[in-house]
């Protein structure tokens, strides 16, 4: 594969500005049957989202995906969200009991708006079969399938019925897949996104490796409809997870979904735990992301996200922080 690069290797090239204020720039995105305020979704991980944050996000028109690590709470969660007239967006795995869970939802007419199949190696028959199972029993749910890192995988999951695919194997901040297995898109996630987006006929979610708000605009430029983010959302006041104090500074834990802490055992561990500095209110970060993305749109010379998709770019090979 030619032209391999990652987020820090790219700078987007500005076009003439057509707005008088960045506040004119529209960051909304249509995804499935709904339009959301930002093309950004907090990762479906236990130290990033819980039910309270899901309600907070849905009420404010941000997309969210609830994690799948307290499976017994999912039915009540869907019911509560639907009763409140909020979108219900859940995750599932691929084990036997998940098949029965989907059938139960169908029987009880509990139809989530979005179902994410959340598997490390998504290019597999296990995921293809689950897509087909969901589409058979819950045809009105929008199915996001992942994670993958190749155009072949995107095509196969789309052909199986996925409404969107999630790209990113190993670029995450608490990921150790790349060092434990030698595989993945870590170090070239942005190029992998471009490669996958060229094959995709449906929306793509870029997942993992976002380190700055500018990386959101770069993801949009290289084909993402949505961007899933873990580490930048970790450590907020509202974030689940323990808070610790060290030398007078507060930190919150952020751990991988395939870490020992999540699994409760040391088996097939591909994630780690870290502590991130306490960041304050989640809304402040969302507002800053929106303002930064509005600014990106103004530099793209447009008024909406579409204008970012066609801007030129240069490869600067990891030099954008030179002089910082
Ligand atoms: N985006 C990423 O880069 C990664 C994300 N993760 C996250 O970690 C969590 C756990 O993921 P996952 O282990 O898939 O979920 P599960 O632990 O639910 O495993 C799902 C099923 O897939 C099997 N499985 C898992 N990995 C592989 C593989 N490489 N090859 C063949 N079969 C496999 C498991 O069996 P068995 O365990 O017996 O093999 C199990 O039957 C998820 O939330 C996932 O998103 C994990 C790693 C990478
Ligand atoms: N390899 C692993 N990847 C993981 C694990 N838990 C989550 N993830 C992925 O990381 C992103 C978030 O990335 P970030 O760079 O924004 O922090 C998340 O959405 C998952 O796809 C894990 O244990 N191992």
Instruction: Report the separation in Å between the CA atom of 121 and the middle of ligand 1, taken as the mean of its atom positions.
Output: 6
* Catalytic residue selected from 17, 25, 175, 196: 175
Cβ(235) – ligand 2 distance below 6 Å: no
* Predicted local distance difference test score (pLDDT) of residue 1: 67
Q: Whose CA is nearest to atom 9 of ligand 2?
A: 172
| Per-chain mean pLDDT for the chain | 96
Over residues 192-251, the pLDDT tens digits come to: 999 999 999 999 999 999 999 999 999 999 999 999 999 999 999 999 989 999 999 999
Residues 6+ apart with CB under 8 A from 2: none
| Ligand with minimal distance to 44 CA | 2
Q: Quick check: is 175 catalytic?
A: yes
3-state SS string for 69-108: CCHHHHHHHHHHHHHCCCCCEEEECCCHHHHHHHHHHHHC
Q: Are strands 89-92 and 114-118 parallel, antiparallel or unpaired?
A: parallel
Cβ(175) – ligand 2 distance below 6 Å: yes
Cβ(209) – ligand 2 distance below 6 Å: yes
Cβ(256) – ligand 2 distance below 6 Å: yes
Residue 171: pLDDT over 90: yes
| Structure tokens belonging to residue 305 | 């996200």
pLDDT band at residue 145 under the 50/70/90 scheme: very high
Residues 6+ apart with CB under 8 A from 82: 88, 110
* Predicted local distance difference test score (pLDDT) of residue 241: 86
Residue 322: pLDDT over 80: no
Cβ(276) – ligand 2 distance below 6 Å: no
At residue 231, φ and ψ (nearest 5 deg) are: -60, -35
* Three-state DSSP state, 293: helix
* Three-state DSSP state, 45: coil
Ligand 1 atom closest to Cα of residue 95: 41
At residue 119, φ and ψ (nearest 5 deg) are: -135, 140
Instruction: Report the separation in Å between the CA atom of 168 and the middle of ligand 2, taken as the mean of its atom positions.
Output: 9
* Predicted local distance difference test score (pLDDT) of residue 244: 94
Rounded CA-CA distance 24/302 in Å is: 10
Residue 323: pLDDT over 60: no
| Ligand 1 mutation target, pool 97, 119, 188, most atoms within 8 A of CB | 119
Ligand 1 atom closest to Cα of residue 68: 43
Over residues 9-25, the pLDDT tens digits come to: 999 999 999 999 999 99
Over residues 32-42, the pLDDT tens digits come to: 999 999 999 99
Over residues 106-117, the pLDDT tens digits come to: 999 999 999 999
* Predicted local distance difference test score (pLDDT) of residue 268: 94
E-only strand ranges, 13-167: 29-31, 34-36, 40-42, 89-92, 114-118, 142-148, 164-167
* Predicted local distance difference test score (pLDDT) of residue 319: 61
* Predicted local distance difference test score (pLDDT) of residue 321: 61
Residues 6+ apart with CB under 8 A from 70: none
| Ligand 1 mutation target, pool 101, 120, 273, most atoms within 8 A of CB | 120
- DSSP lists the bridge partners of residue 117 as 92, 145
| Structure tokens belonging to residue 188 | 């070239």
Instruction: Report the separation in Å between the CA atom of 289 and the middle of ligand 1, taken as the mean of its atom positions.
Output: 30
Instruction: Report the separation in Å between the CA atom of 26 and the middle of ligand 1, taken as the mean of its atom positions.
Output: 37
Ligand 2 atom closest to Cα of residue 259: 23
Q: Which residue has 């941000």 as its token pair? A: 62
Instruction: Report the separation in Å between the CA atom of 257 and the middle of ligand 1, taken as the mean of its atom positions.
Output: 9
Its ipTM equals: 0.95
Rounded CA-CA distance 98/94 in Å is: 6
Residue 260: pLDDT over 60: yes
Output b/e per residue, 288-308; b: 16+ Cβ within 10 A: ebbebbbebbbbbbbeebebb
């Amino acid at each position: 594969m030619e032209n391999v690069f990652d987020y820090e290797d790219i700078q987007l090239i500005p076009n003439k500005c057509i707005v008088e204020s960045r506040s004119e720039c529209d960051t909304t995105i249509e995804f499935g049957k709904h339009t959301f305020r930002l093309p950004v979704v907090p990762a479906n991980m236990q130290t990033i989202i819980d039910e309270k944050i899901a309600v907070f996000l849905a009420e404010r028109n941000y997309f969210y995906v609830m994690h799948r690590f307290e499976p017994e709470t999912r039915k009540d969660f869907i019911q509560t969200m639907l009763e409140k007239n909020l979108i219900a967006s859940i995750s599932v795995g691929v084990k036997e009991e998940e098949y029965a869970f989907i059938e139960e939802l169908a029987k009880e007419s509990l139809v989530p708006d979005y179902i994410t199949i959340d598997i490390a190696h998504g290019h597999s028959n296990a995921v293809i079969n689950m897509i087909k199972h969901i589409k058979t029993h819950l045809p009105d749910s929008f199915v996001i399938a992942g994670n993958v890192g190749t155009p072949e995988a995107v095509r196969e999951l789309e052909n199986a019925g996925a409404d969107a695919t999630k790209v990113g194997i190993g670029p995450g901040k608490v990921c150790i897949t790349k060092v434990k297995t030698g595989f993945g898109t870590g170090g070239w996630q942005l190029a992998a996104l471009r490669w996958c987006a060229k094959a995709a006929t449906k929306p793509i979610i870029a997942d993992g490796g976002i380190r700055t708000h500018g990386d959101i605009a770069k993801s949009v430029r290289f084909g993402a409809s949505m961007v899933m983010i873990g580490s930048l959302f970790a450590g907020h006041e509202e974030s689940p997870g323990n808070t610790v104090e060290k030398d007078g500074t507060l930190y919150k834990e952020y751990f991988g979904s395939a870490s020992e802490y999540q699994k409760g055992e040391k088996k097939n561990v591909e994630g780690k735990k870290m502590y991130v500095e306490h960041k304050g209110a989640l809304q402040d970060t969302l507002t800053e992301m929106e303002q930064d993305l509005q600014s990106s749109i103004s530099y793209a010379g447009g008024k909406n996200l579409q204008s970012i998709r066609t801007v030129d770019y240069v490869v600067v090979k990891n030099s954008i922080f030179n002089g910082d």
